[in-house]
């Protein structure tokens, strides 16, 4: 992303603060995986959004005060001995030039933070995190209060910065949309690859491996979340990530996987038959989820909201479940009772962006958040019928989810993940062609 994008985002945040205020946004720290090995580093999404700087242990100070710069960065100093072991550091001098902000070494954090807090009317930070930063800020406020006689001034309020950052992140700009389009394409192709590779006798984790391989080969080194590859009854476990079972002919396999590209998540689910051909029951239930998914997608446009999209999906699901004899009763009663929720056990979708379950309000002053151009969301109806459910046993252990990523546009929406097929015939053709090729 162009540097000007980050400069502009910081200016926008500064403008959203109350007069004479500062906002503090921390970088992530490295997390221990075991003993002295770490998890791959993942930057804090807010910090990334305003800096594009991918090092741990840094602090961004944004201000709209006349006597402070709009943006100051505190980061790790250069240290040739450490860098030989742990990797390169940009250091304050290069950071200042590269990121177009004022930068200083972390050793100056205490004094620069005190300077920023002293005289500010409000300090915005993540007050939900019980962080070292929050402790440092409250200690400094106590100090400033003790020093009020000599002219220091403690801020009157600590304010949650995440409400401002979430509101800003909810509407994606052109550079974000371009990245998310590409993340959607890469992830869609990875799902195609898993469909092509799938055979009875292979293992769920081998499909996962195909997907991760495709992500990394295409510039997205990591998945946005742990991939779910659940065959047969495993599909009924919503966050199944064991991915350890052998794939059996006659079962469906549900894959929920998306890459992370330049920080942005894709989030796709597809469900297909292990042996490449849907059984009659599988086809009927699958077509129902697909019809609900189309109905929900069609309701995504400016002015709509998650409640309307949910209602569109639930109408189709309830009619369909009644038609198949899985639900019994009177249609309108079943709809108002939300009877389909017995088998559609999660929400219709969520905001998508730097986080897979991205920030952004779902309600505004008690009302549904209205969809606007630039918002990106998932649409993901599903049906899960575990063994023992009050249905004919022929439906048992079927689990189906179909999930796409939609950008709200002025005209309606753009589906960012259409490249992977979801029509029954298209999936069967793709898998048959892959079979013939092997």
Residue ranges in contact with ligand GLY by CB under 6 A: 225, 256, 267, 350, 356, 380, 403
Annotated active-site residue in 350, 355, 397, 428: 350
Strand 413-415 relative to strand 404-408: parallel, antiparallel, unpaired? antiparallel
| Residue 36 falls in the annotated catalytic set | yes
| Residue 330 falls in the annotated catalytic set | no
Rounded CA-CA distance 374/180 in Å is 11
Identify what 225 binds: Mn ion, ligand GLY, none; CB under 5 to 8 Å per kind. ligand GLY
Annotated active-site residue in 346, 392, 394, 423: 346
Bridge partners, 346 (sequence order): none
Annotated active-site residue in 357, 362, 394, 423: 357
Considering only 126, 185, 204, 256, the residue that binds Mn ion (CB under 5 A) is 256
Say if CB 354 and CB 265 are below 8 A apart: yes
Compute the radius of gyration of the chain from its Cα atoms. 25
| Residue 384 falls in the annotated catalytic set | yes
| Residue 413 falls in the annotated catalytic set | no
Angle, CA 100 vertex, CA 95 and CA 103 arms, to 5°: 45
In angstroms, give the least distance from the CB of 221 to Mn ion.
Answer: 19
| Residue 350 falls in the annotated catalytic set | yes
Site for Mn ion contains 319 (CB under 5 A): no
Rounded CA-CA distance 426/422 in Å is 7
Rounded CA-CA distance 378/265 in Å is 11
Of 408, 374, 380, 357, whose CA–CA distance to 45 is shortest? 357
| Residue 256 falls in the annotated catalytic set | yes
In angstroms, give the least distance from the CB of 227 to ligand GLY.
Answer: 9
Annotated active-site residue in 46, 260, 267, 397: 267
Distances in Å between the alpha carbon of 196 and those of 34, 127, 184, 245, 282?
36, 47, 18, 18, 19
In angstroms, give the least distance from the CB of 353 to Mn ion.
Answer: 12
In angstroms, give the least distance from the CB of 356 to ligand GLY.
Answer: 6
Identity of the residue, 10 or 181, whose beta carbon is nearer to Mn ion in the bound complex: 181
Identify what 260 binds: Mn ion, ligand GLY, none; CB under 5 to 8 Å per kind. none
Identity of the residue, 185 or 256, whose beta carbon is nearer to Mn ion in the bound complex: 256
Cβ atoms within 10 Å, residue 438 = 7
Identify what 316 binds: ligand GLY, Mn ion, none; CB under 5 to 8 Å per kind. none
Identity of the residue, 225 or 396, whose beta carbon is nearer to ligand GLY in the bound complex: 225
Identity of the residue, 267 or 314, whose beta carbon is nearer to ligand GLY in the bound complex: 267
In angstroms, give the least distance from the CB of 267 to Mn ion.
Answer: 4
Rounded CA-CA distance 246/305 in Å is 40
| Residue 126 falls in the annotated catalytic set | no
Considering only 267, 314, 355, 397, the residue that binds Mn ion (CB under 5 A) is 267
- Could you tell me the two tokens for 366? 């008690």
In angstroms, give the least distance from the CB of 422 to Mn ion.
Answer: 14
Strand 21-26 relative to strand 71-75: parallel, antiparallel, unpaired? unpaired
| Residue 44 falls in the annotated catalytic set | no
Chain mean position to CA 43: 14
| Residue 239 falls in the annotated catalytic set | yes
Say if CB 345 and CB 317 are below 8 A apart: no
The SS3 assignment for 391 reads coil
Residues that bind Mn ion (CB under 5 A): 256, 267, 269, 378, 403
Where in the sequence numbering do the catalytic residues fall? Answer: 36, 239, 256, 267, 346, 350, 357, 380, 384, 401, 403
């Amino acid at each position: 992303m162009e540097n000007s994008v980050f400069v502009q985002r910081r200016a926008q945040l500064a403008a959203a603060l109350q007069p004479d205020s500062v906002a503090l946004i921390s970088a992530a720290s490295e997390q221990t995986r075991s003993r002295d090995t770490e998890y791959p580093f993942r930057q804090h999404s807010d910090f990334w959004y305003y800096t594009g700087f991918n090092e741990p242990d840094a602090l961004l100070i944004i201000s709209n005060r006349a006597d402070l710069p709009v943006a100051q960065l505190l980061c790790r100093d250069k240290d040739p001995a450490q860098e030989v072991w742990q990797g390169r550091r940009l250091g304050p001098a290069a950071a200042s030039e590269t990121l177009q902000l004022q930068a200083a070494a972390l050793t100056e954090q205490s004094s620069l933070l005190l300077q920023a807090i002293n005289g500010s009317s409000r300090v915005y930070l993540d007050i939900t995190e019980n962080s070292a930063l929050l402790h440092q800020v409250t200690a400094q406020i106590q100090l400033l209060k003790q020093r009020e006689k000599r002219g220091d001034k403690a801020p009157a309020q600590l304010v949650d910065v995440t409400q401002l950052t979430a509101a800003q992140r909810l509407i994606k700009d052109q550079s974000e949309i371009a990245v998310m389009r590409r993340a959607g394409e890469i992830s869609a192709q990875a799902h195609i690859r898993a469909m092509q590779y799938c055979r009875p006798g292979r293992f769920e984790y081998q499909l996962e491996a195909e997907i991760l391989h495709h992500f990394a080969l295409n510039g997205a080194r990591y998945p946005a979340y742990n991939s779910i590859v659940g065959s047969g009854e495993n599909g009924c476990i919503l966050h199944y990530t064991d991915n350890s079972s052998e794939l059996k002919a006659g079962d469906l396999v549900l894959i929920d996987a998306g890459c992370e590209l330049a920080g942005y998540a894709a989030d796709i689910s597809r469900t297909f038959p292990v042996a490449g051909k849907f059984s009659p029951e599988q086809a009927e239930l699958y077509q129902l989820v697909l019809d609900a998914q189309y109905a929900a997608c069609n309701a995504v446009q400016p002015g709509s909201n998650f409640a309307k999209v949910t209602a569109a999906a639930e109408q189709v699901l309830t009619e369909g479940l009644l038609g198949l004899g899985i639900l019994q009763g009177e249609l309108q009663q079943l709809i108002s009772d939300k009877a389909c929720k017995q088998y559609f056990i999660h929400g219709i979708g969520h905001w998508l962006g730097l986080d897979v379950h991205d920030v952004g309000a779902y309600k505004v002053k008690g009302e549904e958040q209205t969809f606007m151009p630039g918002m990106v969301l998932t649409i993901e109806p599903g049906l899960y019928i575990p063994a023992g459910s009050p249905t004919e046993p022929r439906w048992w252990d079927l689990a189906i989810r179909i999930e796409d990523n939609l950008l709200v546009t002025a005209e309606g929406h753009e589906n960012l993940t259409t490249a992977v097929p979801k029509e029954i015939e298209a999936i069967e053709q793709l898998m048959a062609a892959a079979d013939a090729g092997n």
